[in-house]
Chains A and B, each alone.
Chain A
C-alpha cells in the first residue's frame, strides 16, 4: 500500500513476462520508488517492520528469533 495507486494487481497474472505495461509498472514500484518512512508488513504474521530514512529494520526481537 503505497498511499497512491500503483495500478498493480494483487497477484502477478499468468504470462506476466510478456505484459510490457505490467512490467513497466512493476519496474517503477521496485526500482524507482523509494520508501523513506513507512513499514513492511509480513503477509503471514501481519508483523510490521519499520522503515526509517529509507532503511527498513528487519531485526527480530528475542522471542521471535
Chain B
C-alpha cells in the first residue's frame, strides 16, 4: 500500500513491549508495507548505486550528506531484489529520519533527549520489515547449508586467504555468518567497520567516532540459550525475548557526547521499552543510530556488518571489495559484446564481478604473479560451480578467461579491447612508490595500445595519485581524463579515474608480439 506517507514515517504509537517480531504473521504483514531502505555504499559511488536502484527496483534514491549512504523506498516484498543489488555493502530499514535534529549543548540533556526519543519512534512497521527480512534469510541459510555438503565448497572455504569469488560478493551470505560467529564485534571502543570513518575529503576535519556499544544491563556471560546470531527464532508458539545491540556512528564537531555514550543510553532506553535482552555478539536485532551533524537516522540492520568487514580483513588487504569493483565497472558503461580486460587482476575481483553482472561482454583477466593467477583461477571455478548448482543440465560457461602475462608486454592486438579496468598497485601495500614511477607510464602506454581508439575507455583505481597524474600527463595524446571519483579503500584515500581513449592510433612498436 504505497500511497502518501509510508506507514513507517507516520508518527506512531509507542511499541508495546513484546509485540515486536512475532513470527510469520508479522512477516506477512510486513510484505504489504512500503519500506524506506538505507544502504551503505563505497564512498564516491553513491550516484552509481542510485542508478542501479533505479534500474533494478524502479525507485529514485536520495543521497544523504552523510557520505556513503543512499535512501530509497520500495515495497517490502521487493526485499529479495534489494539484497541482490551489487553496489551496496549493507542494508537497513529506516525507523525515522531527522533532517535537522537539535542537540542540547549540555551532555546530560542531549543524552536524555535521545533516551526519551525511543518511545516516540514508529517501530512497528520497520520491525515487520525486519521480520520479513529474517524469513528471507532463513530460506537462504537452508539452501546454503545444503550446498555446503559438497567437497568443492569445503575446499574453497578451507583455502585461507581466498576472496572466495562470487560467493563472498554476496553480503547476504548467511552461510559464512553461521560458520564464523567469531568474526564479529570488536572489543571496547575499537571499530573499523565504516571505512568512511576517516577525515572528510573536503578538508574539513570532522571529529568522527564510530563505535558500537554494549548496553550492559545484563551480565554478558548468560548466552547459554543457544540462540544463533541473526536467527530470530520466533513463531514457535511462545514469545521469545529478542536480543539486541545498538551501533552508533557519530560524526560532527559540535556534539557534547561520544558515540559510545549515545549507544549506551539509547540502548538502555530500547531495553527498557521493549524488554529485550542486550547482547553484543548473539543479537537478533541490530539497532542503528547514525548521527551526522544534525542529521539523525534510526534504523534496523537488514544485513550483517561482520560479513562486510570480514571480506576486507580476512582475505588479504589488497583484495578489492566487490561493491567497489561493481561501481568501477558501471562507470565505464559496458555494452553487450564489449571486450573488457583487467591486466593486473590480482585475485580477480573485478573480472569476476564483471562476468557475473555483464555476461554479454567478454572478460579477460591477467596478472604476472603465479599466485595471483592461481587464486583468480580458483575464484573463477567457484563462480562456475555456483552457476552449475543453479541450472543442473545446462552448465553454461562464464565469459571469462585468465592468462599469466606481463602488463608491459600484453599479448593482445592493438586497438582490440573496448574497456580496461584495473586496480593499479599501491606503493604502500604492493611494490613500492619508486617502482610505480616507472610502472605507471609503461602501463598507461600499453593499455592505450590495446584499447580501441575513440570508443575505448579505462577505469583505473589508484592510491598513488601524484604518480598517476604525472604518468597521465605524458600520455595525453592517447588518454583523456573524463571523470574522477574519490574513494576510500581500506582506510586509504584513493581515486578512480575514468579515462577515454583518444582517436589517435597507437604505434605498432612491438618488439615481440
Residues of A at under 8 Å CB distance from B?
31-32, 34, 53-60, 64-65
Task: State the total of A-B contacts with C-beta under 8 angstroms.
Answer: 34
Please, which residue of chain B has its CB at the minimum distance from the CB of A30? B362
Residues of the A chain whose Cβ atoms lie less than 8 Å from the Cβ of B377: 53-55
Beyond A53-B377, A55-B373, whether A60 also contacts B406 by CB under 8 A is: yes
Given contacts A53-B377, A54-B377, A58-B404, 12 further A-B contacts (CB under 8 A): A34-B397, A55-B377, A55-B404, A56-B403, A58-B403, A58-B406, A60-B406, A60-B409, A64-B512, A65-B406, A65-B408, A65-B511
Contact A55 B511 (CB under 8 A): no
CA distance A56 to B405 in the complex (A): 9
Please report the C-alpha to C-alpha distance between residue A37 and residue B404 in the assembled complex, in whole angstroms.
Answer: 14
Q: What is the interface size of chain B, counting residues whose CB is below 8 A from a CB of the partner?
A: 15
CB-CB under 8 A from A54, the residues of chain B are: 377, 402
Q: Contact at A31–B403, with CB atoms within 8 Å? A: no
Chain A residue at minimum C-beta to C-beta distance from B411? A58
Q: How far is the CA of A60 from the CA of B409 in the complex (A)?
A: 8
Q: Which of B406, B409, B511, B512 has the most CB of A within 10 A?
A: B512
**Secondary structure call for the A interface:** loop
Contact A65 B402 (CB under 8 A): no
Which B residues contact A (CB, under 8 angstroms)?
Answer: 368, 373, 377, 397, 399, 402-406, 408-409, 411, 511-512
Report the separation of the CA atoms of residues A57 and B402 in the bound assembly, to the nearest whole angstrom.
10
* Chain A residue with the shortest CB-CB distance to B362: A31
Cα distance A59–B373 in the bound complex, in angstroms? 12
Cβ–Cβ < 8 Å partners of B406 in chain A: 58-60, 65
**Bound state CA distance, A29 and B405, in angstroms?**
22
Interfacial chain A residues near B373, Cβ < 8 Å: 55
Beta-carbon contact of B397 and A55 below 8 Å: no
Q: In the bound complex, how far is the Cα of B406 from the Cα of A65, in angstroms?
A: 10
Say whether B405 contacts A59, CB under 8 Å. Answer: yes
- Whether the pair A59, B512 counts as a contact (CB closer than 8 A) is no
Tell me whether A56 and B409 are in contact in the complex, defined as CB-CB below 8 angstroms, given that A31-B397, A32-B397, A65-B511 are known contacts.
no
